[in-house]
């Protein structure tokens, strides 16, 4: 079965391509390398020991997408990772974000429809829940108010796909809402390269640990949580990648409609849990300072993953220790990510 992976050179895309290849899928990938490097594609081929067609192509270039489908008329489904994801940059450059994420997705689904491929798995985010009405968060929790343009693009991309599916029942749509993927491939040869100043705890922390940033800021220790810091649901990137393989199997069985599925570990870890685990692995202290709360941070974000377990038969298996160890291995090997 042939799968087109958009954003295949990115953090989640590259790990998912390996899982797909390991599970016997044929992969076609594309990326415009806005936030990634051809080296990641090379590494994926080396790690998996398999070659696959890869195109340097931009979703905003509809003709380029047409050419991919023309070369591969047998694409069964698209796993759609491509897009911009840096929260801070989205606040500075909202139109860039709306254009890339929304126009890009519109182009992609139009080309898919013309090619007769109506199966899509979309990378959404827990950010669409806004300030959630319930913890742990189930998929029934209503979508909320996003705090930045990036979040709104995910919210709107979801809505576009839901409306498309309602109007055209031949579409089979899965919306995967990721919580906080961290970690890297066990080889340490691929991992996450955040754009600019990382907004998330783990990329920031690992950059402090390798000396790229002077200290880590802990934003608020007066939340209503056991140690006063925010709690998040972290999931190992390898568990997340495997979740896509299971989602494809499920997509193949189900008959149309759209299905929303949370992918997290279902376990909550505080800022101090993460720092302590990292310090234990590194055997040294991370320079840190307690700062005021950050606007827009919610105290707890935690996934209810009952639906993923039930529908996908999927279960995350990696521990927090492994997530931190693998993030650290990648960061040490490639403190700057890949130079393009
Ligand atoms: P990433 O930046 O590593 O990967 C995205 C890839 O898309 C990059 O390689 C980038 O070059 C490519 N891209 C961007 N615009 C493109 C365009 N116009 N045409 C072709 N390629 C383009 O990000 P990631 O962490 O792998 O995230 C993948 C998806 O998952 C994104 O849609 C993101 O919003 C979503 N997501 C990520 C997280 C997370 O914490 N990493 C959480 C929730 C959702």
Q: What pLDDT score does 255 carry?
A: 85
Distance of CA 156 to the CA centre of its chain: 17
Is 318 a residue of the active site? no
Cβ(36) – ligand 1 distance below 6 Å: yes
> Residues 267-296: pLDDT tens digits?
999 999 999 999 999 999 999 999 999 988
Cβ(153) – ligand 1 distance below 6 Å: no
Alpha-carbon Rg for the chain in angstroms: 19
The gap between the terminal CA atoms of the chain, to the nearest Å, is 31
> Residues 43-99: pLDDT tens digits?
999 999 999 999 999 999 999 999 999 999 999 999 999 999 999 899 999 999 999
Q: Whose CA is nearest to atom 22 of ligand 1?
A: 82
Q: What pLDDT score does 20 carry?
A: 98
Q: Whose CA is nearest to atom 28 of ligand 1?
A: 81
Ligand 1 centroid from CA 176, angstroms:
14
Rounded Cα distance, 226 and 115, in Å: 53
Q: Peptide bond before 136: cis, by omega within 30 degrees of 0? A: yes
Cβ contact 218:291 at 8 Å? yes
* Nearby residues of 166 by Cβ (< 8 Å), 6 or more positions away: none
Cβ contact 7:81 at 8 Å? yes
- Hunting for tokens 């979801």 — which residue is that? 158
> Residues 177-192: pLDDT tens digits?
999 999 999 999 999 9
Query: Three-state SS for 77?
Result: strand
Query: Three-state SS for 146?
Result: coil
Ligand 1 centroid from CA 25, angstroms:
21
Phi-psi region of 141 (alpha: psi -120 to 50; beta: other; left: phi over 0): beta
Report yes or no on whether pTM surpasses 0.75.
Answer: yes
Per-residue confidence at 340, pLDDT binned at 50, 70, 90? low
Given a cut of 70, whether residue 239 has pLDDT beyond it is yes
Given a cut of 80, whether residue 194 has pLDDT beyond it is no
> Residues 14-33: pLDDT tens digits?
999 999 999 999 999 999 99
Average pLDDT over residues 108-135: 97
Cβ(41) – ligand 1 distance below 6 Å: no
């Amino acid at each position: 079965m042939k799968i087109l992976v958009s954003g295949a050179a990115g953090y989640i895309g590259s790990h998912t391509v390996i899982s797909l290849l390991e599970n016997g899928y044929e992969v076609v990938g594309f990326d415009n390398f806005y936030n990634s490097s051809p080296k990641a594609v090379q590494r994926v081929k080396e790690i998996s020991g398999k070659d696959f067609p890869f195109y340097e192509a931009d979703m905003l270039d509809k003709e380029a997408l047409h050419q991919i489908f023309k070369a591969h008329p047998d694409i069964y489904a698209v796993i759609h990772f491509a897009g911009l994801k840096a929260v801070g940059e989205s606040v500075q450059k909202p139109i860039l974000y709306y254009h890339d994420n929304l126009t890009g997705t519109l182009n992609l689904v139009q080309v898919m429809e013309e090619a007769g491929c109506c199966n899509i798995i979309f990378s959404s985010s827990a950010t669409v829940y806004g300030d959630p009405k319930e913890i742990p968060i189930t998929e029934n929790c209503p979508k909320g108010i996003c705090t930045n343009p990036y979040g709104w693009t995910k919210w709107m991309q979801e809505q576009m796909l839901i409306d498309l599916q309602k109007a055209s029942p031949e579409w089979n749509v899965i919306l995967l809402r990721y919580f906080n993927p961290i970690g890297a491939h066990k080889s340490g040869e691929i991992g996450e390269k955040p754009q600019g100043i990382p907004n998330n705890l783990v990329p920031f922390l690992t950059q402090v640990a390798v000396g790229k940033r002077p200290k880590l800021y802990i934003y608020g220790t007066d939340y209503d949580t056991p140690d006063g810091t925010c709690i998040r649901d972290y999931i190992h990137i390898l568990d997340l990648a495997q979740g896509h393989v299971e989602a494809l199997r499920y997509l193949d069985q189900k008959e149309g409609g759209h299905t929303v599925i949370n992918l997290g570990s279902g376990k909550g870890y505080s800022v101090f849990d993460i720092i302590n685990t990292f310090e234990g692995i590194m055997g040294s202290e991370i320079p840190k300072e307690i700062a005021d709360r950050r606007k827009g941070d919610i105290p707890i974000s935690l996934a209810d993953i009952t639906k993923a377990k039930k529908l996908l038969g999927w279960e995350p298996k990696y521990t927090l220790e492994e997530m931190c160890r693998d993030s650290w291995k990648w960061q040490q090997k490639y403190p700057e990510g890949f130079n393009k």
